[in-house]
Amino acid sequence: VTVHDCSFDIYSVGTISGLRAELKVATETLIKARTSTVSVSSGCELFLRFITMTSLEGQNDFEDLRRKLIKRGDMYLQKVADSRQKIAHIANPFIRDGTTILTHSRSRVVYCLLKEAMSSGKRIKVFVTASTIDNSGEEMHQLLQDAKVPSKVILDSAVGFIMEEVDLVIVGAEGVAESGGIINKIGTYQMAVMAKALNKPFYVVAESFKFVRMYPLNQGDLPNDEKYTSVNSSEDSHPYIDYSPPQYITLLFSDIGVLTPSAVSDELIKLYL
Protein backbone atom coordinates (compact mmCIF):
# COMPACT_ATOMS: atom_id res chain seq x y z
CA VAL A 1 0.00 0.00 0.00
CA THR A 2 2.88 2.31 0.73
CA VAL A 3 3.89 1.75 -2.91
CA HIS A 4 0.91 3.69 -4.13
CA ASP A 5 1.41 6.47 -1.65
CA CYS A 6 4.80 7.08 -3.25
CA SER A 7 3.67 6.73 -6.82
CA PHE A 8 0.99 9.27 -6.27
CA ASP A 9 3.02 12.35 -6.89
CA ILE A 10 1.57 13.28 -10.24
CA TYR A 11 4.24 15.47 -11.67
CA SER A 12 3.53 18.63 -13.55
CA VAL A 13 3.36 17.09 -16.99
CA GLY A 14 1.21 18.38 -19.77
CA THR A 15 0.29 15.20 -21.56
CA ILE A 16 -0.96 11.74 -20.71
CA SER A 17 2.01 9.97 -22.30
CA GLY A 18 4.31 12.23 -20.31
CA LEU A 19 2.50 11.15 -17.19
CA ARG A 20 2.83 7.49 -18.13
CA ALA A 21 6.54 7.87 -18.73
CA GLU A 22 7.00 9.51 -15.32
CA LEU A 23 4.99 6.76 -13.62
CA LYS A 24 7.07 4.07 -15.36
CA VAL A 25 10.27 5.68 -14.06
CA ALA A 26 8.77 5.82 -10.57
CA THR A 27 7.81 2.15 -10.82
CA GLU A 28 11.32 1.14 -11.79
CA THR A 29 12.87 3.07 -8.90
CA LEU A 30 10.47 1.42 -6.49
CA ILE A 31 11.25 -2.04 -7.78
CA LYS A 32 14.96 -1.45 -7.34
CA ALA A 33 14.49 -0.15 -3.82
CA ARG A 34 12.42 -2.83 -2.13
CA THR A 35 13.04 -6.50 -1.56
CA SER A 36 9.51 -7.84 -2.09
CA THR A 37 9.44 -6.83 -5.71
CA VAL A 38 6.75 -9.12 -7.09
CA SER A 39 3.83 -7.41 -5.36
CA VAL A 40 5.33 -4.00 -6.11
CA SER A 41 5.59 -4.72 -9.83
CA SER A 42 2.09 -6.19 -10.06
CA GLY A 43 0.61 -3.32 -8.08
CA CYS A 44 2.32 -0.74 -10.29
CA GLU A 45 1.32 -2.56 -13.48
CA LEU A 46 -2.32 -2.55 -12.36
CA PHE A 47 -2.11 1.10 -11.49
CA LEU A 48 -0.74 1.93 -14.93
CA ARG A 49 -3.60 0.00 -16.52
CA PHE A 50 -5.95 1.91 -14.33
CA ILE A 51 -4.52 5.16 -15.69
CA THR A 52 -4.87 3.95 -19.26
CA MET A 53 -8.49 3.05 -18.71
CA THR A 54 -9.30 6.39 -17.17
CA SER A 55 -7.61 8.30 -19.98
CA LEU A 56 -9.56 6.28 -22.54
CA GLU A 57 -12.75 7.80 -21.23
CA GLY A 58 -12.02 10.80 -23.43
CA GLN A 59 -11.17 13.87 -21.41
CA ASN A 60 -10.38 16.97 -23.40
CA ASP A 61 -8.90 18.91 -20.55
CA PHE A 62 -5.76 17.56 -18.91
CA GLU A 63 -6.44 19.34 -15.64
CA ASP A 64 -9.82 17.64 -15.51
CA LEU A 65 -8.21 14.27 -16.13
CA ARG A 66 -5.63 15.00 -13.44
CA ARG A 67 -8.30 15.70 -10.86
CA LYS A 68 -10.23 12.61 -11.89
CA LEU A 69 -7.09 10.48 -11.66
CA ILE A 70 -6.31 11.75 -8.19
CA LYS A 71 -9.84 11.03 -7.07
CA ARG A 72 -9.79 7.56 -8.60
CA GLY A 73 -6.38 6.91 -7.14
CA ASP A 74 -7.61 7.77 -3.66
CA MET A 75 -10.58 5.49 -4.15
CA TYR A 76 -8.28 2.71 -5.30
CA LEU A 77 -6.04 3.22 -2.27
CA GLN A 78 -9.06 3.07 -0.02
CA LYS A 79 -10.26 -0.16 -1.62
CA VAL A 80 -6.80 -1.69 -1.26
CA ALA A 81 -6.66 -0.70 2.40
CA ASP A 82 -10.07 -2.25 3.00
CA SER A 83 -9.24 -5.41 1.10
CA ARG A 84 -7.39 -7.00 4.00
CA GLN A 85 -10.44 -6.73 6.21
CA LYS A 86 -12.64 -8.02 3.42
CA ILE A 87 -10.41 -11.03 2.92
CA ALA A 88 -10.41 -11.75 6.65
CA HIS A 89 -14.21 -11.66 6.59
CA ILE A 90 -14.41 -14.02 3.60
CA ALA A 91 -11.87 -16.51 4.94
CA ASN A 92 -13.09 -16.53 8.55
CA PRO A 93 -15.76 -19.27 8.12
CA PHE A 94 -13.10 -21.67 6.88
CA ILE A 95 -11.37 -21.60 10.26
CA ARG A 96 -13.33 -23.74 12.67
CA ASP A 97 -13.36 -23.58 16.42
CA GLY A 98 -10.42 -25.44 17.95
CA THR A 99 -8.20 -25.60 14.86
CA THR A 100 -4.43 -25.58 14.85
CA ILE A 101 -3.02 -23.41 12.09
CA LEU A 102 0.42 -23.37 10.52
CA THR A 103 1.64 -20.23 8.83
CA HIS A 104 4.85 -19.07 7.23
CA SER A 105 6.84 -15.94 7.95
CA ARG A 106 5.11 -12.60 8.40
CA SER A 107 2.07 -11.65 6.39
CA ARG A 108 -0.21 -8.78 7.25
CA VAL A 109 -3.19 -10.42 5.60
CA VAL A 110 -2.76 -13.65 7.56
CA TYR A 111 -2.37 -11.62 10.74
CA CYS A 112 -5.60 -9.76 9.98
CA LEU A 113 -7.39 -13.06 9.34
CA LEU A 114 -6.14 -14.67 12.54
CA LYS A 115 -7.14 -11.63 14.55
CA GLU A 116 -10.62 -11.77 13.05
CA ALA A 117 -10.95 -15.48 13.80
CA MET A 118 -9.89 -14.82 17.40
CA SER A 119 -12.32 -11.96 17.83
CA SER A 120 -15.21 -14.01 16.43
CA GLY A 121 -14.80 -16.23 19.46
CA LYS A 122 -12.92 -19.17 17.98
CA ARG A 123 -10.18 -20.93 19.88
CA ILE A 124 -7.16 -21.25 17.62
CA LYS A 125 -3.54 -22.25 18.03
CA VAL A 126 -0.89 -21.01 15.63
CA PHE A 127 2.52 -22.32 14.65
CA VAL A 128 4.77 -19.84 12.82
CA THR A 129 7.96 -20.78 11.04
CA ALA A 130 10.95 -18.68 12.13
CA SER A 131 11.82 -17.95 8.49
CA THR A 132 15.47 -17.52 9.39
CA ILE A 133 16.53 -15.56 6.32
CA ASP A 134 15.36 -12.39 8.06
CA ASN A 135 13.61 -13.77 11.15
CA SER A 136 10.27 -12.33 10.09
CA GLY A 137 8.58 -15.31 11.74
CA GLU A 138 9.66 -13.94 15.11
CA GLU A 139 8.03 -10.62 14.23
CA MET A 140 4.81 -12.42 13.35
CA HIS A 141 4.96 -14.31 16.63
CA GLN A 142 5.32 -11.02 18.49
CA LEU A 143 2.35 -9.52 16.64
CA LEU A 144 0.22 -12.55 17.44
CA GLN A 145 1.22 -12.48 21.11
CA ASP A 146 0.17 -8.85 21.28
CA ALA A 147 -3.18 -9.82 19.79
CA LYS A 148 -3.50 -12.58 22.42
CA VAL A 149 -3.46 -15.37 19.83
CA PRO A 150 -1.69 -18.45 21.25
CA SER A 151 1.29 -18.99 18.98
CA LYS A 152 4.62 -20.76 18.88
CA VAL A 153 7.67 -20.33 16.68
CA ILE A 154 9.04 -23.45 15.02
CA LEU A 155 12.19 -24.08 13.01
CA ASP A 156 11.82 -23.94 9.24
CA SER A 157 13.10 -27.50 9.16
CA ALA A 158 10.44 -28.62 11.64
CA VAL A 159 7.58 -28.13 9.15
CA GLY A 160 7.42 -31.84 8.32
CA PHE A 161 7.54 -32.74 11.98
CA ILE A 162 4.70 -30.43 12.98
CA MET A 163 2.45 -31.05 9.97
CA GLU A 164 0.59 -33.99 11.54
CA GLU A 165 -0.46 -31.78 14.45
CA VAL A 166 -1.94 -28.97 12.40
CA ASP A 167 -5.42 -28.88 10.85
CA LEU A 168 -4.72 -26.44 8.08
CA VAL A 169 -2.04 -24.22 6.59
CA ILE A 170 -2.62 -20.55 5.75
CA VAL A 171 -0.03 -18.42 4.00
CA GLY A 172 0.04 -15.03 2.38
CA ALA A 173 1.51 -14.40 -1.05
CA GLU A 174 3.85 -11.89 -2.62
CA GLY A 175 2.37 -12.66 -6.00
CA VAL A 176 -0.30 -14.92 -7.45
CA ALA A 177 0.79 -16.28 -10.82
CA GLU A 178 -1.43 -16.85 -13.82
CA SER A 179 -1.24 -20.61 -13.33
CA GLY A 180 -2.90 -20.22 -9.94
CA GLY A 181 0.36 -20.91 -8.12
CA ILE A 182 1.87 -18.48 -5.66
CA ILE A 183 5.17 -16.72 -5.24
CA ASN A 184 5.99 -16.32 -1.60
CA LYS A 185 8.83 -16.26 0.92
CA ILE A 186 11.30 -19.12 0.56
CA GLY A 187 10.07 -22.17 2.44
CA THR A 188 6.47 -21.96 1.23
CA TYR A 189 6.95 -24.59 -1.46
CA GLN A 190 8.11 -27.27 0.91
CA MET A 191 5.26 -26.43 3.26
CA ALA A 192 2.81 -26.87 0.38
CA VAL A 193 4.27 -30.22 -0.62
CA MET A 194 4.18 -31.46 2.98
CA ALA A 195 0.60 -30.33 3.39
CA LYS A 196 -0.43 -32.20 0.25
CA ALA A 197 1.41 -35.32 1.38
CA LEU A 198 -0.45 -35.32 4.70
CA ASN A 199 -3.80 -34.24 3.20
CA LYS A 200 -4.02 -30.91 4.99
CA PRO A 201 -5.80 -28.01 3.28
CA PHE A 202 -3.40 -25.33 2.07
CA TYR A 203 -5.05 -21.90 1.92
CA VAL A 204 -3.59 -18.74 0.45
CA VAL A 205 -4.78 -15.23 1.30
CA ALA A 206 -3.83 -12.46 -1.12
CA GLU A 207 -5.27 -9.13 -2.26
CA SER A 208 -6.29 -8.78 -5.89
CA PHE A 209 -3.49 -6.34 -6.78
CA LYS A 210 -1.01 -9.15 -6.22
CA PHE A 211 -2.27 -11.06 -9.24
CA VAL A 212 0.66 -10.91 -11.63
CA ARG A 213 0.99 -11.88 -15.28
CA MET A 214 3.62 -14.51 -14.85
CA TYR A 215 3.44 -18.20 -15.69
CA PRO A 216 6.40 -19.94 -14.03
CA LEU A 217 6.77 -23.61 -14.83
CA ASN A 218 9.40 -24.30 -12.21
CA GLN A 219 11.62 -22.52 -9.67
CA GLY A 220 14.11 -21.58 -12.36
CA ASP A 221 11.47 -19.51 -14.14
CA LEU A 222 11.40 -16.92 -11.38
CA PRO A 223 13.39 -13.87 -12.51
CA ASN A 224 16.77 -13.62 -10.80
CA ASP A 225 16.42 -10.02 -9.75
CA GLU A 226 13.33 -10.91 -7.77
CA LYS A 227 14.72 -14.12 -6.37
CA TYR A 228 17.78 -12.68 -4.70
CA THR A 229 17.78 -9.70 -2.38
CA SER A 230 19.22 -6.50 -3.74
CA VAL A 231 21.95 -6.61 -1.11
CA ASN A 232 23.87 -9.61 -2.39
CA SER A 233 22.60 -10.34 -5.86
CA SER A 234 25.24 -12.91 -6.75
CA GLU A 235 24.05 -16.37 -7.73
CA ASP A 236 25.80 -17.88 -4.73
CA SER A 237 23.50 -16.21 -2.23
CA HIS A 238 20.25 -17.62 -0.90
CA PRO A 239 17.03 -17.14 -2.83
CA TYR A 240 14.43 -15.01 -1.14
CA ILE A 241 11.27 -16.34 -2.79
CA ASP A 242 9.98 -19.58 -4.25
CA TYR A 243 7.10 -20.73 -6.40
CA SER A 244 4.36 -23.11 -5.19
CA PRO A 245 2.50 -24.73 -8.12
CA PRO A 246 -1.32 -24.69 -8.17
CA GLN A 247 -1.81 -28.40 -7.55
CA TYR A 248 -0.73 -27.95 -3.92
CA ILE A 249 -3.13 -25.10 -3.24
CA THR A 250 -6.66 -25.87 -2.02
CA LEU A 251 -8.25 -22.44 -2.16
CA LEU A 252 -7.26 -18.81 -2.60
CA PHE A 253 -9.00 -16.08 -0.60
CA SER A 254 -8.95 -12.69 -2.20
CA ASP A 255 -11.09 -9.55 -2.04
CA ILE A 256 -12.75 -10.68 -5.26
CA GLY A 257 -13.99 -13.80 -3.46
CA VAL A 258 -13.01 -17.40 -2.86
CA LEU A 259 -11.15 -18.85 -5.84
CA THR A 260 -9.93 -22.26 -6.85
CA PRO A 261 -6.47 -22.13 -8.47
CA SER A 262 -8.02 -22.74 -11.89
CA ALA A 263 -10.18 -19.63 -11.50
CA VAL A 264 -7.17 -17.31 -11.11
CA SER A 265 -6.39 -16.95 -14.80
CA ASP A 266 -9.97 -15.89 -15.53
CA GLU A 267 -9.79 -13.21 -12.87
CA LEU A 268 -6.43 -12.04 -14.17
CA ILE A 269 -7.84 -11.59 -17.65
CA LYS A 270 -10.70 -9.53 -16.22
CA LEU A 271 -8.24 -7.37 -14.27
CA TYR A 272 -5.88 -6.68 -17.11
CA LEU A 273 -8.24 -6.20 -20.02
Partner 1 sequence: MRTIRNRLCTAGMASGMAVAEKGRSDLGKEVEEKLHEFITYLKQKNPHSSYDVAKRTVLLLREVCSKTRWYSARDLITNIRAAGKKLIAAQPSESAVGNMVRRVLKIVREEHASCVAGSVDEVDVRALLQGRDDSDDLSRQTPHLKGSVIEIINDLLGELELSASNISSQAPDHIHSSEVLMTTGYSKTVEAFLKAAARKRKIEVIVAESAPFYRGQELAKNLAVAGVETIVVTDSAVFAIMSRVNKVIIGTHTVMADGSLKAINGSYALCLAAKRHSVPVLVCAALFKLSPQYPCSYDHDTFNKIVSPHDILRFSEGQLVSKVHVQNPVFDHVPPDLITLFVSNIGGNAPSYVYRLISELYHPDDQEL
Residues that bind partner 1 (CB under 8 A): 50, 53, 72, 75-76, 79, 93-97, 208, 250-251, 256-263, 266-267, 270-271
Nearer Cβ to partner 1 (207/242): 207
Least distance to partner 1, CB of residue 261, Å: 8
The values of phi and psi at residue 253, to 5°, are -105, 120
Q: How far is CA 240 from CA 140, 187, 232, in A?
A: 18, 9, 11
Cross-strand bridge partners of residue 242: 184
Cβ neighbours of 7 (radius 10 Å): 20
Of 102, 106, 188, 114, the closest CA to residue 141 belongs to 106
Nearer Cβ to partner 1 (35/92): 92
Least distance to partner 1, CB of residue 27, Å: 18
What does the buried/exposed string (b/e) look like for 215-237 if buried means 16 or more CB atoms within 10 Å of the residue's CB?
A: ebeeeeebeeebbbbeeeeeeee
Nearer Cβ to partner 1 (20/79): 79
Pairing of strands 175-176, 151-154: unpaired
Least distance to partner 1, CB of residue 158, Å: 27
Least distance to partner 1, CB of residue 211, Å: 9
Q: One-letter amino acid identity for 194?
A: M
Nearer Cβ to partner 1 (32/96): 96
Nearer Cβ to partner 1 (68/138): 68
Least distance to partner 1, CB of residue 203, Å: 10
